[in-house]
Structure 1
Amino acid sequence: MNIQRDSADGTVGKALDVLDRVAAFGRPVRFSELLEDAPFPKATLYRLLQTLAKQGMLAYDDDRGTYAPGMRLVRMAHAAWAQSSLAPIARPHLDELSRAVGETVHLAQLDGGQVLYVDKRNAVRPLPMFSEAGKVGPAYCTGVGKAMLAHLDEAACDKALARQSWHRFTPHTVTTPEAMRAELETIRAQGHAYDREEHEPGIHCIAMPVLSATGRMLGAVSVTSSVERGPLAELERHLPKLKQAVEHIAGDLHDWRFPDQREG
């Protein structure tokens, strides 16, 4: 499990860290499992879990002795999704793109330098792959991640690159900031990014950023397939439809802003 939140910000920071850890398991989790890699003492973890359960942020199952996200947290997550996610606005355009290309379509945003998948449409013939709505993945070796990194300003890009793990997932993975910077220049010039089996063997994609009228990067959309279905060049025939989709999403976002990203 890769939790990269700063848990040093007092009690609130520790509580958020615990919520992250419970959610990251993707299933009800026991106290002993959370304790294995918790960054604070047993008594502190127990106290935080009890408080979060009392507040409805976690649900505790007495019979199984497990913790899971509580209904209060679920309600907050739905509200955040509706107010701060591109997904509700992008939905009809993702549906249209999915019907047009017949391949897997992803919508993503950046979260702390990493890729947060906020929506997905499966291909006519679905492919098993890592990405699912709500999952967090690396930015440096995914099409949507690179499309977004390429359109950050220099300071934000430097900060995001400093947060990458540079783990070699496949023989095709770029593993240095220097090589990535060179690729990002190419992406800016051509307007789209590729994942050339860099995150998962046999999976490749094309991706484009969603940009505001002033060029602010808001997210990215990708069309994904497998090498078994055809070479990457075959995916390129979908570039006009992908470009149309991101432009339509950007158009619908004209009067919409993230709460902390209002443009002057």
Structure 2
Amino acid sequence: MQEKLTSVDKVLLVLKALGDSSYPLQLREVVELVHLAKSTTHRLLAALVRYDLVVRVGERYLLGDGVIDWAVTMSRDDLSLRSTVLPHLIDLHNSTQSVVFLGVLGDGGVHYVSSLFGHTVIKTPSRQRDWAPAHCTAVGKVLLSGLRRRPDALPTYPFIEVASAGARSALAAELRTIRRTGFAYNREQYAPGVACVAVALPDTDSGIHAAIGVCDRADRLRPLEVLGNLRRTALISAIAMHPGVPNRE
């Protein structure tokens, strides 16, 4: 006979389902994963939202800052990266009037070391948390492209949860294109109505692999218009982190 679940068990099941997912979940998806009644699941999610343990974005749910703050502590390298690059991110934000992200691979996806929203209003889960899946975000994909694995080794990439062989093949092809062009563009793949363009900071001896992204409403962002400014910011940031980086501008 199966042991009856306690209220704590049910809460932990919901949190685990959201934490294990690589994308925000709809209520029906949470119900399918936790095998609880829809009304019970909805009630638990509503309570978790009130306590900032879960964030609701439209009809989807994801872990909130209350949980992320418990689980994630910023490394010394990340703190150094953020403090050094932040002045250049502010300049980029002011010149584009768009949202700016600085991200590194970690925590099972992209960890946003810094995010500048300002008065720009876009509906993205990244406004509520400092983590996003790598395989469906521009910052994540440009960082994945820098791992330079063979296309047939894609299933062994860390930070990726891509279900089908077709999806893995498409992602591998996209990463090859990103390596060739030097930038990633994402339109409504992670959040409806949101687009983002990202480039990596040039490699340095510091061993820090980071990327900068500019995001805005999909109908407002002009990726090619902001790309030059974005690349200059990445180069200046890399030089600030490590003065030995050659200036190729």
Cα deviation for residue 154 of structure 1 reads: 1.6
Cα deviation for residue 183 of structure 1 reads: 0.7
In structure 2, give the amino acid aligned to 1:253. M
- Mapping of 1:216-255 within 5 angstroms? 218-229=209-220, 232=221, 234-254=222-242
Aligned to 1:96: 91
Over 3 Å counting, the alpha-carbon distance change for 1:160 and 1:219 in structure 2 is farther
Show structure 1 runs of 5+ residues with no match.
1-29, 40-63, 169-173, 257-264
In structure 1, distance between residues paired with 2:237 and 2:128: 18
Cα deviation for residue 200 of structure 1 reads: 1.0
In structure 2, give the amino acid aligned to 1:244. R
- Mapping of 1:107-118 within 5 angstroms? 107-111=102-106, 113-118=108-113
- Mapping of 1:175-194 within 5 angstroms? 176-194=167-185
Aligned to 2:13: 36
Over 3 Å counting, the alpha-carbon distance change for 1:38 and 1:214 in structure 2 is closer
Secondary structure in 2 matching 1:208:
strand
TM score, norm. by length of structure 1: 0.59
Q: Deviations over 1:90-146 (max 9, x none)?
A: 111111111111100011110155111111111543222111485221111100011
Cα deviation for residue 158 of structure 1 reads: 3.7
**Count of residues in Structure 1 that have an aligned counterpart in Structure 2:** 188
Kept in 2: contact 1:93–1:245 (CA 8 A) = yes
TM score, norm. by length of structure 2: 0.63
Kept in 2: contact 1:205–1:222 (CA 8 A) = yes
1:150 to 116, 123, 145: 145
Measured on the aligned residues, the alpha-carbon RMSD in Å equals: 3.7
Identity, in percent, stands at: 25
Over 3 Å counting, the alpha-carbon distance change for 1:196 and 1:160 in structure 2 is farther
Over 3 Å counting, the alpha-carbon distance change for 1:202 and 1:113 in structure 2 is same
In structure 2, distance between residues paired with 1:114 and 1:90: 21
Secondary structure in 2 matching 1:154:
coil
- Higher normalized contact order (CA 8 Å, seq sep 6+, divided by chain length): 2
Q: Deviations over 1:41-73 (max 9, x none)?
A: xxxxxxxxxxxxxxxxxxxxxxx9x9x78x9x7
Aligned to 1:208: 199
Cα deviation for residue 31 of structure 1 reads: 4.6
Over 3 Å counting, the alpha-carbon distance change for 1:177 and 1:216 in structure 2 is farther
Secondary structure in 1 matching 2:211:
strand
Cα deviation for residue 253 of structure 1 reads: 1.6
Aligned to 2:162: 166
